[in-house]
């Protein structure tokens, strides 16, 4: 089972650093700002840098903002630093939080001024982008539900303020954010629809095969990977590798992020030799690209897993795997308050979805510790596979669910669909469908963090949805029986 150490940053909307400098130069028209941004670039381990989402109309910001020159300078500097730090990985996340919130507050304050309709519209554009950037920050902190109202508000404002024919990238950003939020709510089908709708905005502007478009399919691939379709994700990630190499070169953080994502998909698909090639490329170019420390750590961890699967004995790969986990936990304690380590994050940020075949087996291996009895792990896994192919369970009657961040299974469960007879108060009887929920299991190291209860709340939402029309559900569990026995004793 993969550890959270191998997960790419939750959200990185990227363009090369020089593009950031050129865009900011156009907005600020001042060399002091370029100097400040360069200082930030040189002093930080940049994982990826996202181009600021200032609207093209924002070039008139200096003439429309009644803030003092000092306040305006602070706005621009905070915005630039926030954009850099927000995508700078866990080590820079707190600085990103402070700067991005500061910019949002400045833009909200600016809306209290009103010069004329044109200037007011420009300020609203900037505020919409401020909401969007704050949503990115919250998502990177794992606070998906906190991010949701800001992302929705940003999109609503863009529909009202912008020309949907000429501002395609603006709509892409807001919709891809909402796709990740939908994933966190356990709504993978709708999340995929949102992600595919998002990329259509860029395809509409640039065409489906343009390098700019293929650069951003990386984020659509993230959604496919999160729902467990690694084959579909792989094709998109490979397209992003080609596009980013063409746009940015081999020694670029964005290019290496794509190589890593390809390697991770290949690992999930069991294609270890090819995965090795992409991991090797990451580690070969890491210094030239100034790849972030935590990204290098992920690559080394994945390299250890791949090389063990290839039965390579030239190095102690198990030692490298364990050292990576130890170092990861140190980083998390130092910079993330332990987040992801045990896990200390909000469990509502995890995604509920049906398990792939590989994940199904991993779930059985996990819960075998509690339920295999005298069977070996392999015998128990075989037994579960047989149980899932009986008359009452085949053809989708049984579904296997996992609660995951895309790499680690924190909790799992099963639902079993069964016909029932329901009699109403008027005496009429009808045959309906019901669902039994069973096999709820959380590995010991992830217990007492609310993962199971969070998963069950999201599973209840699915059971109430149109995808699973049913009259009632039943939880099959030995927990209550055991509790009653102890109450008697």
401 phi and psi, to 5 degrees?
-115, 145
State the CB neighbour count (10 A cutoff) for residue 337. 13
Task: Encode 43-66: b = buried (16+ Cβ within 10 Å), e = exposed.
Answer: ebbbbbbbbbbbbebbeebeebbe
* Weakly modelled stretches of the chain, pLDDT under 50: 1-87, 338-344, 478-489
> Is residue 215 within 8 Å of residue 203, measured between CB atoms?
no
Say what the pLDDT of residue 83 is.
41
Sheet with 473-475: strands ordered across? 351-354, 398-404, 409-423, 429-441, 473-475
> Is residue 86 within 8 Å of residue 100, measured between CB atoms?
yes
Tokens read off for 222? 């993230």
Spatial distance between the Cα atoms of 415 and 5, rounded to a whole number of angstroms = 30
Say what the pLDDT of residue 255 is.
93
Spatial distance between the Cα atoms of 273 and 1, rounded to a whole number of angstroms = 19
Say what the pLDDT of residue 7 is.
35
Cα angle at 125 between 243 and 195, to 5 degrees?
40
Say what the pLDDT of residue 35 is.
40
Say what the pLDDT of residue 119 is.
57
Residue whose structure tokens are 């990740």: 180
Taken as a whole, the chain contains a residue count of: 489
Spatial distance between the Cα atoms of 242 and 249, rounded to a whole number of angstroms = 10
Say what the pLDDT of residue 237 is.
95
Q: How many Å is the Cα radius of gyration of the chain? A: 25
Say what the pLDDT of residue 196 is.
94
Q: Which helix (H) or strand (E) holds 453?
A: helix 451-463
- Contacting residues for 342 by C-beta, under 8 A, at least 6 apart: 445, 446, 449
> Is residue 301 within 8 Å of residue 321, measured between CB atoms?
yes
Spatial distance between the Cα atoms of 194 and 417, rounded to a whole number of angstroms = 29
4-335 architecture in CATH?
Answer: Alpha Horseshoe (1.25)
The domain ranges of the chain are 4-335, 350-488
> Is residue 127 within 8 Å of residue 100, measured between CB atoms?
no
Say what the pLDDT of residue 173 is.
86
Spatial distance between the Cα atoms of 86 and 89, rounded to a whole number of angstroms = 7
Strands 398-404 and 429-441, how do they pair?
unpaired
> pLDDT of 358-405, one tens digit each?
889 989 988 888 888 888 888 999 999 988 888 878 777 889 999 987
pTM of structure:
0.60
> pLDDT of 395-421, one tens digit each?
778 899 999 877 788 899 998 888 888
Strands (E), 283-408: 351-354, 398-404
CATH number given to 350-488: 3.40.630.30
342 CB-contact burial (10 Å; exposed 0-12 / middle 13-18 / buried 19+): middle
Residue whose structure tokens are 């950037």: 133
Alpha helices in 141-165 (DSSP H): 144-161
Transcribe 9-62 into DSSP letters. Answer: PS------HHHHHHHHHHHH--HHHHHHHHHHHHHS--S--PPP---GGGGGHH
């Amino acid at each position: 089972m993969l550890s959270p150490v191998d997960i790419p940053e939750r959200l990185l909307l990227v363009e090369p650093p020089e593009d950031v400098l050129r865009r900011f130069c156009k907005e600020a028209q001042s060399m002091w700002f370029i100097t400040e941004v360069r200082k930030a670039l040189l002093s930080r381990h940049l994982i990826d840098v996202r181009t600021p989402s200032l609207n093209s109309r924002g070039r008139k910001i200096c003439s429309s903002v009644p803030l003092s020159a000092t306040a305006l300078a602070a706005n621009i500097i905070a915005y630039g630093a926030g954009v850099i730090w927000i995508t700078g990985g866990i080590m820079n996340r707190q600085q990103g939080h402070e700067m991005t919130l500061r910019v949002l507050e400045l833009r909200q304050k600016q809306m209290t001024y009103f010069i004329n309709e044109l200037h007011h519209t420009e300020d609203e554009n900037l505020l919409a982008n401020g909401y969007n950037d704050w949503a990115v920050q919250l998502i990177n902190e794992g606070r998906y539900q906190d991010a949701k109202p800001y992302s929705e508000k940003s999109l609503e404002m863009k529909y009202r303020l912008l020309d949907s024919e000429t501002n395609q990238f603006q709509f892409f950003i807001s919709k891809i954010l909402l796709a990740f939020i939908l994933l966190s709510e356990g709504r993978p089908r709708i999340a995929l629809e949102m992600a595919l709708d998002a990329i259509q905005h860029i395809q509409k502007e640039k065409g489906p095969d343009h390098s700019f478009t293929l650069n951003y399919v990386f984020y659509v691939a993230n959604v496919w990977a999160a729902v467990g379709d690694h084959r579909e994700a792989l094709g998109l990630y490979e397209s992003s590798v080609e596009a980013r190499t063409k746009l940015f070169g081999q020694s670029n953080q964005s290019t290496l992020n794509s190589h890593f994502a390809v390697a991770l998909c290949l690992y999930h698909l069991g294609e270890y030799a090819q995965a090795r090639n992409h991991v090797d490329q990451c580690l070969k170019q890491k210094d030239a690209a100034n790849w972030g420390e935590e990204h290098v750590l992920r690559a080394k961890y994945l390299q250890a897993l791949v090389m063990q699967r290839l039965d390579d004995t030239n190095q102690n790969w198990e030692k490298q795997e364990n050292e990576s986990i130890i170092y990861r936990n140190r980083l998390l304690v130092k910079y993330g308050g332990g987040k992801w380590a045990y896990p200390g994050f909000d469990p509502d940020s995890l995604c509920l979805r049906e398990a792939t075949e590989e994940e199904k087996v991993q779930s059985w291996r996990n819960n075998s510790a509690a339920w295999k009895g005298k069977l070996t792990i392999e015998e128990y896994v075989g037994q579960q596979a047989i149980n899932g192919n009986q008359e009452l369970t085949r053809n989708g009657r049984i579904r296997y669910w996992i609660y995951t961040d895309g790499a680690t299974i924190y909790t799992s469960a099963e639902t079993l669909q069964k016909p029932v007879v329901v009699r109403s108060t008027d005496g009429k009887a009808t045959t309906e469908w019901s669902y039994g929920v069973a096999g709820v299991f959380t590995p010991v190291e992830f217990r007492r963090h609310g993962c199971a209860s969070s998963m069950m709340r999201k599973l209840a939402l699915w059971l109430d949805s149109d995808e699973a029309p049913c009259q009632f559900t039943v939880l099959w569990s030995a927990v209550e029986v055991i509790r009653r026995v102890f109450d008697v004793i």
